[in-house]
Every structure is written in C-alpha cells, then in structure tokens.
C-alpha cells in the first residue's frame, strides 16, 4: 500500500512544480512572520518596555464646511521611542504617520456634515499604545456655506 501512495505524491509534485515552489515560498514567508513576531515579543530591542506612549491631539480648524479639510497634529512621547501614530475619526482609522511631526490632513467629503471626534493613538516598538483625548470638529453642510438662493436679488429680477 505504501509504495503506490509515495509514487502518487512524487507524480503530483512533478506535474505541478509551480505548486511546490509556491508552498515553499509560503513556508519561507511564514517562517519570516514568526521571526518578526518573536522579535516583537522580545521587546523590539528594548526588553521590558511596558511604559505606554502619551499622546495629545489638536485639530484645526474646529469648524469646517464639507469639502474642506482639517489638519490633525499629534504630540507623542515615549520612554523609548514612538514608532507610529494613527489617527481615528470615531472608530475609523483615517491615516497614520511614522515620522515627526505626526500630522494628517483629512478632507471632509460631501455628506460628512456633523460632529467628528478625532483621536490619535501612539505606538512604541514594544506594542504599547496610548490614546489621546478626543478633539471635536464640526462639519457644516456645503449648502449652508454657498449656493444658497439670494431671494432679494431674485425678487428684484422679477420686478425689473
Ligand atoms: Ca514605551
């Protein structure tokens, strides 16, 4: 029973060399991922760093019309070093920055009117994270800023 099964496997690999190569590459990728994971678990060069970064966020302007943009600026510090800062609008990640200064420009699309609460989350190399307080930005509908009918002009046109 064993001999025919072994021969069957050999035939399969010979017929599909690409498949064998791909699984080999996958195994290599998995080994690499495991190495990365173990490196992170070891503290990323700073064993025992359990201190989370602190981060503060500012957002300007505080009120913007749809189609406009808001600049988010985070100030983050860590006992070892900040590796990246991600920016969130509510629970949605809107971007990240890995180098100083930690900033992001967010464009408010049509239909996004309302109050948006932004937060910044800072990470260090050991995976500790700190989250800023929320910064509220009010987005006004585009119609309230432009494109409103000037009825006094309209009435004049009717009378003339
Ligand atoms: Ca730290």
Compute, in angstroms, the gap from residue 59 CA to the centroid of ligand 1. 25
22-47: pLDDT as tens digits: 556 656 665 555 455 555 444 455 77
Compute, in angstroms, the gap from residue 87 CA to the centroid of ligand 1. 19
58-111: pLDDT as tens digits: 999 999 999 999 999 999 999 999 999 999 999 999 999 999 999 999 999 999
Compute, in angstroms, the gap from residue 84 CA to the centroid of ligand 1. 12
One DSSP character per residue, the chain reads -HHHHHHHHHHHHHH-HHHHHHHHHHHHHHHHHHHHHHHHHTTTTSTT--PPPEEEEEEE-SEEETT-EEEEEEEEE-SS-EEEEEEEETTEEEEEE-SSSEEEEEE--TT--EEEEEEEEEEETTS-EEEPPPEEEEEE-GGGTS----HHHHHHHHH-
Compute, in angstroms, the gap from residue 104 CA to the centroid of ligand 1. 23
Compute, in angstroms, the gap from residue 31 CA to the centroid of ligand 1. 27
Compute, in angstroms, the gap from residue 129 CA to the centroid of ligand 1. 8
Average pLDDT over residues 16-27: 55
The pTM assigned to this predicted structure is: 0.62
Architecture of the domain spanning 54-142:
Sandwich (2.60)
What is the domain partition of the chain in residue ranges?
Answer: 2-41, 54-142
Compute, in angstroms, the gap from residue 37 CA to the centroid of ligand 1. 18
């Amino acid at each position: 029973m064993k001999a025919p099964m072994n021969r069957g496997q050999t035939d399969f690999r010979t017929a599909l060399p690409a498949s064998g190569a791909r699984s080999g590459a996958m195994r290599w990728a998995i080994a690499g991922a495991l190495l990365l994971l173990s490196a992170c678990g070891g503290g990323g060069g700073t064993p025992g760093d359990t201190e989370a970064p602190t981060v503060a966020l500012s957002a300007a302007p505080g009120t913007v019309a749809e189609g406009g943009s808001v600049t988010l600026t985070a100030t983050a510090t860590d006992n070892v070093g900040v590796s990246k800062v991600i920016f969130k609008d509510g629970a949605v990640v809107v971007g990240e920055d890995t180098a100083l200064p930690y900033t992001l420009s967010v464009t408010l699309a049509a239909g996004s009117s309302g109050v948006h609460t932004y937060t910044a989350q800072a990470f260090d190399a050991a995976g500790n994270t700190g989250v800023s307080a929320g910064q509220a930005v009010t987005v006004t509908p585009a119609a309230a800023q432009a494109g409103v009918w000037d009825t006094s002009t309209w009435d004049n046109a009717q009378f003339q």
